[in-house]
Structure 1
Amino acid sequence: MRRTKLEMERTRQRLLDAAERVFSEQGYATAKLEQIADAAGLSRGSIYWHFKGKPELLDAVIDRAWFPWDQLAVDQTELERLPSIAEMAGVLGQGIQRTLCEPRLRRSALILLQGRELRSVSERVLQRLQGMQQRICRHVAMVLEPSRVTGPLSGDSGILARAVGAFILGVISEALMLGWPGEQGRIGQDVERVVLAMLMPVVAAT
């Protein structure tokens, strides 16, 4: 019986779901196609029907991944008004909370953290990780505006934005790899407080 396009797409999504779980739990290097097929409840042949092999399957998993940072505005023309520093810190904290606590986001983050090890397999993993950090930095720089930054860093919102971006990715990495001290449900609030502590002393009142 000839499969419909809808059935084929459902099968493809099942394979991506399974690959996402296996790659995040075992790591890409040790994951086997048989394990992915078993996790999806399908045959190994089903994988080759949709993908050329494990590298292409990895690329598809990365392409499908979505994070809260993907919807951050990076240009003032995208917004009705510029968010306050406190509002921005809250959004970043919520993004961290979702990434670490929602299963699909958590799995995607675990895969991205393998980026440097997977460089020889797929540049897309590292590019996705870098793109996420760059979007966070551009959003922070947009909100800060050079005119808001005072003191020794007067007029240089870029360096502060990069510091915040590095901090966000560092929190994700530490929380996933080593665990986070204190209550898991408070990570977002902790991040919000730290971002405010980083920025408020060098940002002019608005």
Structure 2
Amino acid sequence: MRRGKAEVERTRQRLLDAAERVFSERGYAVARLEEIAEAAGLTRGSIYWHYDGKPELLEAVIDRAWFPWDQLPVECAGTQGLPGIAQMACVLGQGLQHTLAEPHLRRSASILLQGHELRHVSERVQERLRGMQQRIRRYVALVIEQAGAGRLARAERDAQARAVGVFMFGVLSEALLLDVPGEQQALGREVERFILALLLPGLAGA
């Protein structure tokens, strides 16, 4: 008897939930399909019914993660409603806070940041990570450009935007590595203060 679409989707989500947990806790390279199947309460054969193998399962896990910065505008056509620098600092700080506070996003971020392990596994996953980093930098550069009204050279804007992106992902990586409970709000504020100190020094202590 053919399984209904709803049942197929429920099974798929169980597998993705289990893979997300196992990949984030054990690391992609060490994780075995048997562990994922056991965590999902299914058989190894169930995985192959839905996915070709571990790399495709990894891609499916990452594809369903929607991070706060995935919706940041990065094109000039979408900049009409851009915030000021102080508001941008708040947006990015709160985005980091939300990522760390929401278990699904926290695990997905932990998987994405296993960069060395994943380098030769999936170009699609690597592109997702690069795309996230580039989106943040482009968004920051656009806000700086708007706020500066052309007073800063492009190279300087890009350097500041890169510094913000590197700091954000550094904070995220450290938080995931140390896994300190309840740290997300403090780290969100830390990101805000860094951006203000870099771009609006007079507001850094506000």
User: Does residue 137 of structure 2 align to residue 157 of structure 1?
Assistant: no
Deviating 4+ runs (over 2 angstroms):
75-82, 153-156, 178-185
Q: Which position in structure 1 is the counterpart of 2:141?
A: 141
CA spacing shift, 1:181–1:193, aligned 2, 3 Å: farther
Aligned partner of residue 73 in structure 2, secondary structure: coil
Instruction: Write the distance in 2 (CA, Å) between the matches of 1:107 and 1:164.
Output: 23
Per-residue displacement from partner, 1:74-100 (whole Å, max 9, x unpaired)? 124325433110100000000110111
Contact 1:62 1:125 in 2 (8 A): yes
Question: Which 5+ residue runs of structure 2 have no aligned equivalent?
Answer: none
Task: Calculate the TM-score normalised by the size of structure 1.
Answer: 0.89
Q: Which position in structure 1 is the counterpart of 2:169?
A: 169
Q: Which position in structure 2 is the counterpart of 1:26?
A: 26
What number of residue pairs does the alignment pair up? 201
Aligned partner of residue 117 in structure 1, secondary structure: helix
Shift in Å, 1:185: 2.8
Q: Which aligned pairs between 1:44-59 and structure 2 lie closer than 5 A?
A: 44-59=44-59
Question: Which 5+ residue runs of structure 1 have no aligned equivalent?
Answer: none
User: Does residue 14 of structure 2 align to residue 14 of structure 1?
Assistant: yes
Per-residue displacement from partner, 1:110-157 (whole Å, max 9, x unpaired)? 001112221111122221111111000000011010771899x65531
Q: Which position in structure 1 is the counterpart of 2:131?
A: 131
CA spacing shift, 1:180–1:158, aligned 2, 3 Å: farther
Shift in Å, 1:178: 3.0
Q: Which position in structure 1 is the counterpart of 2:87?
A: 87
Task: Calculate the TM-score normalised by the size of structure 2.
Answer: 0.89
RMSD: 2.3
CA spacing shift, 1:183–1:117, aligned 2, 3 Å: closer
